[in-house]
């Protein structure tokens, strides 16, 4: 066989070999695995739960969006309720210290469980995680998921954000994550979940105060505890993660995506949430 023919055969064989799927790891707590929503139990068989608790959560929604877009991801999650990144590093490091392609980190919802609004702990452990993950894979892309305002931390007296607009907690949390991204080397970006929730509220799509009831024509982004997310809230979170990590427009998910029917969501509301995600990611 002539040399150029041999090279052609090798080229065809190389082209026929399947491209390895990207690996993505989600590290977080109940805000990542979808507590108090059917999202928690959504398609757990499509993702790898490193803690073997059998949840699907936002990572499973991400997997569904990516598959629909023709993107091949191996999705893993390591989630524990009520903890921050410091816990995951101290207790779960053996599961996490691998050569991931992409990682999404989400910490405690007030930044620090003992000092609400203080980003110091988040800044420290974002740096620690960045160092660990980059040692394994210098090309890893790390994203920080900045979470939402909590009514239970805003409206009751003596709560940390009492007397401030509901949007303020989300702004403060986002600022803490952006500081962490600035201080730590190699952070690819921040997912502005809390700011997108603010946008949904400010636009009239979502209600601002579940304590006084949900206004007609508006959705509740929170669960019954006024703390965790509703199914719509988690769906918005997943849209934002999908858009930031993949670079795809959340509007491309569309209103016929498979989980919309599986989770009994209104396609008209989903279209509006996609627009919110699109607008917020375009701004940040």
Does residue 36 lie in a domain region?
yes
User: What's 119's domain CATH number?
Assistant: 3.40.50.1110
Structure tokens at 176: 């803490």
- pLDDT for residue 98: 98
Does residue 12 lie in a domain region?
no
Half-sphere exposure of 139 (CA within 13 A, CB side): 3
What digits encode the pLDDT tens for the residues 141-176? 999 999 999 999 999 999 999 999 999 999 999 999
Q: In what helix (H) or strand (E) does residue 17 lie, and over which residues does it extend?
A: none
- pTM for the whole structure: 0.93
What digits encode the pLDDT tens for the residues 168-218? 999 999 999 999 999 998 999 999 999 999 999 999 999 999 999 999 999
Q: How far is the C-alpha of 109 from the C-alpha of 161, rounded, in Å?
A: 13
Does residue 240 lie in a domain region?
yes
Q: How far is the C-alpha of 109 from the C-alpha of 28, rounded, in Å?
A: 10
Q: Which residues contact 283 (CB under 8 A, 6 or more apart)?
A: none
CB 187, CB 123: distance < 8 Å: no
Structural domain including 224 reads: 20-283
Give the number of domains in the chain. Answer: 1
Does residue 256 lie in a domain region?
yes
Mean of the pLDDT values across residues 229-239? Answer: 98
Does residue 189 lie in a domain region?
yes
Instruction: Spell out a b/e string for 205-233, using b for 16 or more CB atoms within 10 Å of the CB, else e.
Output: bbbbebeeeeeeeebbbbbeebbbbbbbb
Does residue 4 lie in a domain region?
no
- pLDDT for residue 143: 98
pLDDT surpasses 80 at 19: no
- pLDDT for residue 284: 87
Q: How far is the C-alpha of 270 from the C-alpha of 199, rounded, in Å?
A: 15
Q: Which residue has the tokens 């977080």?
A: 28
- pLDDT for residue 18: 60
Does residue 6 lie in a domain region?
no
pLDDT surpasses 90 at 247: yes
Does residue 10 lie in a domain region?
no
Structure tokens at 64: 């569904």
Q: What angle do CA 148, 150, 156 make, to 5 degrees?
A: 160
Q: How far is the C-alpha of 212 from the C-alpha of 241, rounded, in Å?
A: 30
């Amino acid at each position: 066989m002539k040399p150029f023919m041999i090279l052609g055969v090798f080229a065809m064989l190389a082209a026929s070999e399947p491209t390895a799927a990207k690996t993505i790891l989600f590290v977080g707590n109940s805000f990542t695995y979808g507590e108090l929503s059917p999202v928690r139990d959504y398609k757990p068989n499509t993702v790898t739960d490193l803690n073997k608790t059998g949840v699907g959560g936002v990572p499973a929604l991400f997997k569904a969006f990516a598959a629909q877009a023709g993107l091949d991801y191996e999705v893993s999650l390591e989630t524990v309720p009520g903890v921050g990144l410091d816990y995951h590093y101290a207790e779960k490091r053996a599961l996490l210290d691998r050569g991931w392609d992409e990682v999404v980190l989400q910490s405690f919802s007030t930044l620090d469980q003992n000092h609400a609004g203080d980003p110091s702990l988040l800044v420290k452990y974002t740096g620690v995680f960045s160092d660990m993950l980059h040692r394994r894979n210098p090309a890893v892309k790390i994203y920080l998921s900045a979470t939402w305002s909590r009514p239970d931390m805003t409206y009751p007296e003596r709560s940390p954000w009492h007397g401030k607009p509901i949007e303020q907690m989300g702004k403060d949390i986002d600022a803490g994550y952006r500081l962490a991204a600035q201080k730590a080397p190699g952070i690819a970006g921040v997912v502005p979940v809390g700011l997108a929730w603010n946008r949904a509220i400010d636009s009239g799509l979502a209600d601002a105060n579940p304590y006084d009831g949900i206004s007609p024509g508006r959705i509740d982004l929170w669960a019954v505890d006024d703390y965790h997310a509703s199914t719509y809230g988690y769906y918005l979170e997943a849209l934002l993660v999908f858009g930031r990590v993949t670079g795809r427009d959340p509007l491309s998910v569309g209103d016929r995506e498979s989980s919309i029917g599986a989770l009994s969501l209104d396609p008209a509301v989903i279209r509006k949430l996609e627009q919110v995600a699109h607008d917020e990611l375009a701004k940040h």
